[in-house]
Structure 1
């Protein structure tokens, strides 16, 4: 079953971190990571958490985002601005659907939130796999951290529980089958090197690569349908 982590990068106000913990707890999540901040240790965070103090107490602290993402299979960055138009932006629901498509190939996923004043930097966004944003009718006033986390927590809480796979081989087999079907649709000849690579190498890639290849194949399949 996929574990979902909420990562807060440089949060400034303890009240916002406490509200974030409360929102997570309301939707059934409890894994919080804090990057470059001690706001979760403040009295303000504790007061605002309202019965969710255990999430603050168990929160993992990291000095930088790279360390917080080191063991994460797939990560989503939240952004309010369209920095880098070449990267696709997913809604909270769309991000949850992306995770659902990956199924049991993902053990740990994360949603990354930036600081209240400036959000995530371009360097932060470059470290995360997929970008997501909340479509707003009016961009101002913007949502606060607790409200944003509640929206994402709700969407991800609606995902059906993934069925545990008995072995990694089943995940690799599913990826191989999906790849072969796509090669057939693209009329790639049997003697092509790409066919041989799929046949020989898919079973040797990492869990993280399995997850990312499923996302890539999904985007290609959607494009072909369009």
Structure 2
């Protein structure tokens, strides 16, 4: 008589619902409502439930309901906002799913590594967003600047066009495997659960840009390149709220001195 199978370590452990609940899927500027419904179905099959829609062109819509095919609860609970910054304001890890781009230099992750990083961050209590762009044009440069890293699906280079819902399914599957403990690729970063929420970081970047203008840092050159490099530098550090308050205090003093210098020169 054959011995019963022993449940070994090869059997994935159940995913922690609390960890999964900290991971959201964000769709930006979706043009076809059917893709919203298909994306809702894709994430529900993988144990995720949070869907955020940034300025969808048509929602609510019958086609979204039809393509959800049983994921009506995900659609009903979907949050709709006007801008990506609003969708990720409380997040400590934001991953933008995009084709490779030379215009915006972000650290690139494959889906499995991205999912492992998302799991590590969510397990540590941080909010995580996986962001997907428009069907035809993807994420704009300004939207990619809000992301900590880019996720690139290594599709067939001769035919690399992925439907939006298919891309969501790929990432949701990798997240599922990571949450089940079956992923073997380690996260590339330590958890950033102590890092400041995204909204605080963006407030710092806005003040930094104003300060650089006030002290004439750019000397007539376009500020875009310098700000992109500075954003990457500070994003990598995982600043916490106290550190941001300290830096903003330094910037405030620099702005005050610039105003005094301007008055003295006048």
Shared fold (TM-score greater than 0.5)? yes
> In structure 1, what is the Cα distance between the partners aligned to 2:194 and 2:23?
16
- Structure number with greater Rg is 2
Query: Which of 22, 26, 39 is the aligned partner of 1:7?
Result: 26
Please, which runs of 5 or more residues in structure 1 have no aligned partner? 163-174, 176-204, 218-226
Contact 2:124 2:193 in 1 (8 A): no
* Structure 2 counterparts to residues 14-163 of structure 1, below 5 A: 14-37=33-56, 39-84=58-103, 86-102=105-121, 104-138=123-157, 140=159, 142-160=161-179
Offset at 1:99?
2.6
1:207 aligns with 2:226: no
> In structure 1, what is the Cα distance between the partners aligned to 2:177 and 2:109?
17
> In structure 1, what is the Cα distance between the partners aligned to 2:119 and 2:50?
19
* 1:144–1:105 CA distance, 2 compared to 1 (3 A): same
* 1:103–1:14 CA distance, 2 compared to 1 (3 A): closer
Offset at 1:15?
0.8
Offset at 1:139?
5.0
Contact 1:20 1:146 in 2 (8 A): yes
- Report what 1:189 is aligned to: none
> In structure 2, what is the Cα distance between the partners aligned to 1:44 and 1:92?
28
Offset at 1:34?
0.4
- Runs of 4 or more off by more than 3 Å in structure 1? 83-86, 100-104
Contact 2:29 2:133 in 1 (8 A): yes
> In structure 2, what is the Cα distance between the partners aligned to 1:103 and 1:41?
29
Please, which runs of 5 or more residues in structure 2 have no aligned partner? 1-17, 182-189, 198-234, 238-266
Aligned residues: 175
> In structure 1, what is the Cα distance between the partners aligned to 2:141 and 2:151?
14
Offset at 1:37?
1.6
Greater helix content: 1
